[in-house]
Structures are given as C-alpha cells and as structure tokens.
Amino acid sequence: MKFATRILAIGTLAVFLCAAALALLVRDRPAQPPVGERVVIHGAAGELVYYRQGSGPAVVLLPSFARSASDFDALATGLAAAGFRTLALQPRGVDGSAFGPWAPSLKDFATDVVAVLDAEGGVRAHAVLGHAYGNRIARVLATHYPERLDSLILFSAGGETPPPDDVSAAIRKAIFGFDGPARDEAIHFAFFADGNPVPPEWRSGWYPAAGILQTRATTAQSPASWRGGGQAKMLVLQPQEDKPAPSERSMRLAADFPARVTLRVIAGAGHALLPERPQEVLDTVIGFLRAVRERDR
C-alpha cells in the first residue's frame, strides 16, 4: 500500500512538473501596447482588438509570426502623419484578441481583417500591409475578398516553404527558449542583419500560443491557393539579409507577376526589418501609397 501510494505521489509530481514546464514554454512575453486608439469589436473568433491612428485612406497592418502589432508603432505614426488611417490588428491570441477554434485557416484570419474594415464603416482598404506571417493573410485576403482592398504591401514575403533547418531552430529558441545569451543570439541570427543590434522590444513581444495557432492556420491550405494575391498590385520589401524568407522567393514572385509586383530590396536589414531600417521603410511605403492614390483618382 505504501509502495502504491509512493508511486501515485511520484506520478502526480511528474504530471505537475510537466504541466509547469509546458506553461513556462508557452508563456507570453508581452509587448508594450501599440500606439493609437484601442478598439475592441466582435469577430468570428470572439473579441478582436485593433489600434486606430490618424485619418484618411485606411492602411491595415498585420504583424509577423507570434508577434504584436506594436512592431508597427514607428511606421503607424509616420503613416498617420502623412495622412493615412492605420488599423493595426492584434492577431488571435494576442492582447485580448480571442483565440477562437484551434484549427483555423488563413482565410479565417483574413475574415478578421474584413470585420475590422466593416467596423470602420465598411471601408475599402487603400492597402493591406503584412509582415512575414502577416503577408500570408494579406495575400489570402486579396484572393478571397478582392473588393475590400486596393493594393498589398508585403514585408519579408515568405511562407511558401519552411525556413532552413538552422533558422527554424533559432526561431523556436527565440519564441520558446529561456531568457539568456543563447536566446539573444538566436533572435539575432534569425531576425537581424549582421551588425544590427537586437532592440529590447524584440526580446519581448512574443506570443508562443498564438504562434502555434498561426502554424496550424498556415498548414490548412496550399500556398498555391494564395501565392498570387488575387489580382492586386503589390509592393514587396525584401530585406537583403532575410534568413527565414530569402530574397529568391520575392524575386520569383516579381518574375511571375511582373505587371503587378514592385520589388524593393532593403540593404542592411534582416527579417525583422522595421527596427533596422525604419525611415527607408516608411519613405518607400508612403511613396507607394501615394502612387496608388494617384492611379485610382
């Protein structure tokens, strides 16, 4: 009897320790709240959070894998100052946006964008800008809901094939690893160009459970179903030292759709891009948005 009790106690302890370890691995490292007015609406998955800033033509901002819309703070502020209204979405599982079902598709994430545009008075987005994982949602949106946008802006436009094994390992360590020099090195290796420092906001701002949900959504459909982004005009900003989404992929996209894709290579930047070359990114995006506005007049 004592032996059985001891085995039960050991088993219970083991289960508790495993649960504690899992909770530690998937704990959020919250970002600072994004700039702008926080808006909460009801989407298909439940509550949906986005941040509005400025007035004028709407520009939707979709963050990268397991990240927060706060990555767009400098860009959103600059776009608002230039006469645009930015709508920065918090992905499912981030900052109050509900997770919803655990087997979503990228189209489900695209419907969140539609819900935000509806909440803004049914506006048509002047542009939908997606960074890395967000670029997949942007292209899915343009494929299934072409009437809701004028153009696409894609940063680090991968998603069609997995990153190289060493890069994937570094991404996992960045998201799930314990704080310390090894994790800092992994973040730098996977997301930043050589010589560029990792800012504090990129040591935080990670949402592992949201990342798991996004992985499930990515594998729910073939990239061939959304790769072309419908018939939308696209600006593609390709970081020159992007390891997760190497430049060959953006070059192939531009070669396959030359009439619709404008490709700009950003030197001295990695996958993170935004904190590495903020002014160049802002100037290029504003130039494209103004060109689209002139074209549509």
pLDDT at residue 143 in the model? 98
Residue that wins the pLDDT comparison between 236 and 10: 236
Split at pLDDT 50, 70, 90, the class of 65 is very high
Q: Is the pLDDT of residue 192 over 60?
A: yes
Query: Poorest-confidence range of 19-33, 78-92, 124-138, 240-254?
Result: 19-33
Mean pLDDT value across residues 36-41: 98
Q: Is 258 left (phi over 0), alpha (psi -120 to 50) or beta?
A: alpha
Mean pLDDT value across residues 91-96: 98
CATH architecture of 37-296: 3-Layer(aba) Sandwich (3.40)
Query: Percent of the chain at pLDDT above 90?
Result: 88
Q: Is the pLDDT of residue 14 over 60?
A: no
Split at pLDDT 50, 70, 90, the class of 6 is low
Query: Poorest-confidence range of 4-13, 151-160, 178-187, 248-257?
Result: 4-13
Split at pLDDT 50, 70, 90, the class of 17 is very low
pLDDT at residue 161 in the model? 87
Tell me the torsion sign for CA atoms 82, 87, 93, 95: positive
Q: Is the pLDDT of residue 176 over 90?
A: yes
Q: Is the pLDDT of residue 115 over 90?
A: yes
Domain limits, the chain:
37-296
Split at pLDDT 50, 70, 90, the class of 10 is low
Split at pLDDT 50, 70, 90, the class of 160 is confident
Q: Is the pLDDT of residue 208 over 80?
A: yes
Q: Is the pLDDT of residue 13 over 80?
A: no
Amino acid (one-letter) located at 135 = N
Distance, in Å, from the CA atom of 190 to the CA atom of 200, rounded to the nearest integer, reads 16
Mean pLDDT value across residues 187-194: 98
pLDDT at residue 21 in the model? 38
Q: Are 162 and 95 in contact (CB under 8 A)?
A: no
